[in-house]
Structure formats: C-alpha cells, structure tokens
Homo-oligomer: A and B are copies of this chain.
Amino acid sequence: METVKNQRLSEQEFETIRHEVLNQWPTGREVDFQEAVEYQKSLPKKKVFTEAINRALQRGETLIQPRAGTALVEEQIKLLKYLETEGEADLLPTTVDSYTRQNRYKEAETGIEESKKTGRSLLNGFPIVNHGIKNTRKVTEAVNLPIQVRHGTPDARLLAEIALASGFTAFEGGGISYNIPYTKNISLADSIRYWQYVDRLTGIYEENGIAINREPFGPLTGTLVPPSLSHAVAVIESLLAAEQGVKNISVGYGQSGCLIQDIAAVQTLAQLTQEYLTEYGYGDVTVSTVFHQWMGGFPADEAKAFAVISWGAVAAAFSGATKVIVKTPHEAFGVPTGEANAAGLKATRQTLNMLREQSFPQSKELKEEKEVILEETKSILERVITLGRGDWAAGTVAAFAAGVLDIPFAPSRFNRGKVMPVRDNNGAVRFLDPGNLPLSRDILDFHREKLAARAKEEKREVGFQMMIDDIYAVSKGMLVGRPR
C-alpha cells in the first residue's frame, strides 16, 4: 500500500513542490509570496476570518455564511455584495466550480467563455485559478467581510496559492474530506499529501503573521453520515493540519435533522477536536465549529425548503455552533439566485436571533447521545492510530483500506462502501450495516436495539429499502422514511 507520513514538510520539500505547482497553469506565475504576505497584512481586521470567528467564540454567537459562486468576476462581485447587504451575511464565500475542483482548467476556460457568450453562468462556481490573482483580488476587495474559499478539490495546491495571495483569509477542505466524497480515482495518500502542502502553506502564512482559518469539510457525502464517522475525519484532518503549522481550525458537521443528535454532535465535535489536538501536542490551535444545514436532498417546494432551512438554524442555535452554512429555497433545483441565497440567510438570521437567549436542556437523552458519539469516535480513532503505528496519515490510508473508516455513499474507489446508515425511530442516524468499523459490542447492540424499535413500529424488516426511504424522506416532507 502506498503511504504517507504525518510529518511537517521541510522547506526544501515545500519549495520543490511549489515550483511544480505554480507552473500548473499560467496564473500560477502571478504568485509572489512576499507580496502576498504584505497584501494580507494590509487587510483591515473586519476582513480577517479568524477575527470574526474568535469574536463569535468569545461572545458565544453563531455566524451565518452562504455558499456562492458564479463564472465571471463582475457577476461574482455583484452576488457577494448582495449577500453582504441584503443577505446580512457575517462571512462570505467564494464557491469554486467543479472543473477547477478536478484541476480541469481548460474546461473551466470554456465555461468562462460560454458564460460570457450566453450571458448566464455555465459554471457552478467561480474558477479562481483561471481568473488569477489580479482578477480575484477585485472580488475580495469589493466586499467588506471576511471571505473564504469553499470548494471540493482533492488537489487544491495551486488553488490555495492563488486564493491566499488573492486575499481570502479562510480555506475549506482537507485530504480526506475533499477526496472521499469529491472524486473517484485519486488515492488518499495522494490527496493527503496535496493537503499537507495546503496546510503547510497556511502554516507559512501563520509564521509570517497572517492568520488563516482552515476548515475540514464536515458533512462529507451529506447523506445520513453518522456523526462519529464525520467526527473521526474532522479530528484526523485537524491533527494533520496542525502538524503543518495550521493554528485556526473550524471543524464541521452536517445536520442529521434529529435535534438531540445534532446538538450532541456539535458539542462533542468541539470537545473531541480540542482533546486530540492537545493530546498530540497542538494545544495552541484555536478550534471552532461549523454546522451545515441539511446537506441531503431538499424538498422541491420552496416553502418546505424554508422549513428545512429554519430547522437547521434551530439546531445550529441550540448546539452553539460558531457558524452555520446556509442552504437556500432553490436547493433541490440548482445553484441559487442571489435572491434565493439571501432568503436562506435571512430566514436563518431570524431564527438564530429569536433563539439567541434560549437554550436546550442538557437532558438524559442528550447526554446519552453524546456518550455514544464520543465512544464511537474514540474507538475508530484508536484503531486508526494503531493501524498507522502512531502515524495519523499512514493510519488513515490503512483505515480506509480496511473499512475502519468508511463513508456511506462516497464515490471514491478508496472507500470501502460497506457501511450503511439508517434512521432510528426518533430520527437519529444509526448504522444499518457497520461494515468493518471497530465498534464495541455495546455500541453495536445499542444501534441494533434502536433499529429494532423502528422495525417494530413500521412492521417491516430493517434493511436497504428503509435506507432508501430515509434518503428520500426530507425531500418528501418527513425526517424518517416511513413505509407508505
């Protein structure tokens, strides 16, 4: 098996790769690191992502952030400005198109041309690499809020170089979370290496006095991912990032829709990440949390979509996440218009504000749910580090190969795809098939009992059909996919 070590890239290693990376596309040559550091230093505080996150952490507030990306510079500026003013966003994004995500800059170029020709965006995001630093700075300069790159790029090295030099102060992704759900044929060892580069780049910025927020992509496939699985990935990516010198990490989680499970998940996520970072010697990293409103299939009806969005905002508020990534009423159809995007933000804002002074009691059920998540995540992580003989990177590669880490519905060849999730009778996501996950017998019994209760209620076997019903459920107006 191909392998990779969790070890900080040396300056020489980094520079060798950098040379290659900056030559992958002409705009790479625009990168002048010293100039970029000066540029970043010149940014006002209000545009620095970590400043906003740290303030929210201090005040116990939840910030709101949309996704948004369109093919052309002027359109992207218009869109972001609209989300800033009308949408009342706290944090801005630039979502990158899917060609760039697969390093297909030529196709992205075609997309830009065609978009110019037809007057509508043919790309599902903003192709940062193709636009290059000069043009992308026009975007970051046009707004008054911190702005992050959101994408899904297994090899985001060139993207990161250009984005950070363009004034983005936060960068999403990680070697696992931007591989397993986002591509088919790239090996984990490779994507982890690519992301070690991105993290090292971030580390170098940090060492030059520039704080950059890094965010592993929590929801993974967005579809019934049991919290312990995404937590395990988040913790590992945090450890890998910290090793390269990253200092500001936001770990994420995608809403399950079961409120107790969601609160438990966010609260344990922060706790686990902090614990492992400290244990492994990265205690100086600042950890915050990201809650993603429902990431699975949405209802087509916009009023129903608003209900899903608002319910996500409720869970974000009660869980105390540092920020929430907001969906839109257009979700089931396509990339939203600015208006639809702002509408999602406003519904979220209203909900968060109304819940600001309210809290969810630390009940028995909530405590139990937390314990389950903690125990599962720790079991998995323990096996990962064992498989890696003390190395998180090697352990991750081995763990995915062995199905010790296994993400439901992931397209990657490097994911075993044996684990199947399903909801229990209260809507919490459980394991229908735990595959090779290293879970204790107690935990497995717990899942089995929970599912047995549902089977009894529905008078049918626990099985594949139940999972399919659950996949469709929210889009059809329910949480649990009951038989018709």
Contact = CB atoms under 8 A, between A and B. Distances in A.
Interface of A: 257-260, 299, 301-304, 306-311, 313-314, 342-351, 353-358, 361, 363-366, 425-427, 474, 477-480
Contacts of A426: 357-358
A306 B304 contact: no
A343 B478 contact: no
B310 A306 contact: yes
B311 A480 contact: no
Contact of A477 (B257, B307, B349, B427): B349
A351 B307 contact: yes
A480 B343 contact: no
A357 B342 CA distance: 31
Contacts of A357: 425-427, 479-480
A477 B87 CA distance: 13
A342 B478 contact: no
Given A310-B351, A311-B351, 15 more contacts: A260-B358, A299-B350, A303-B345, A303-B347, A306-B309, A307-B347, A308-B354, A311-B314, A314-B314, A353-B479, A354-B427, A356-B478, A356-B480, A357-B480, A358-B479
Contacts of A306: 303, 306-307, 309-310, 347
Contacts of A260: 358
A356 B358 CA distance: 22
A307 B303 contact: no
15 contacts: A259-B358, A299-B350, A301-B346, A303-B347, A304-B347, A306-B310, A307-B351, A310-B351, A353-B477, A353-B478, A353-B479, A354-B478, A357-B427, A358-B426, A361-B366
Nearest to A260: B358
Contact of A302 (B259, B314, B343): B343
A346 B300 CA distance: 12
Nearest to A313: B307
A254 to B, nearest CB: 15
B303 A346 contact: yes
The residue in A299, A313, A351, A364 that gathers the most chain B C-beta atoms within 10 A of its C-beta is: A351
Nearest to A345: B303
A342 B301 CA distance: 11
B348 A307 contact: yes
Contacts of A311: 310, 314, 351, 354-355
A347 B299 CA distance: 11
A257 B361 contact: no
Nearest to A476: B353
A361 B365 contact: yes
A364 B426 CA distance: 22
Contacts of A358: 258-260, 426-427, 479
B350 A307 contact: yes
A351 B258 CA distance: 12
